[in-house]
Copies of this chain bind each other. A is one copy, B any other.
Amino acid sequence: MLSKKTQYALKALGYLAGKYGEGPVLISDISKIKKIPIKFLETILLELKQAGVLDSKKGKGGGYFLIESPKKTTLAQAIRLVGGPIALLPCVSINFYEKCKDCDEAVCGLNKAMKITRDATLKILEKKTLSELIDRADTFNL
> Which of A7-15, A19-27, A50-58 is found at the contact surface with chain B?
A7-15
* Number of identical protomers: 2
Contact with B along A82-122 (1 / 0, CB 8 A): 00110111100100000011111001111011001100110
Seen from chain A, the residues whose Cβ lies within 8 Å of a Cβ on chain B are 1-2, 7, 10-11, 14, 33-36, 75, 84-85, 87-90, 93, 100-104, 107-110, 112-113, 116-117, 120-121, 123-125, 128, 132-137
* Residue in B closest to A130 when the chains form the complex, CB atoms: B109
Contact indicator B109/A116 (Cβ below 8 Å): no
Shortest distance in angstroms between A27's beta carbon and chain B's nearest beta carbon?
15
Contact indicator A137/B104 (Cβ below 8 Å): yes
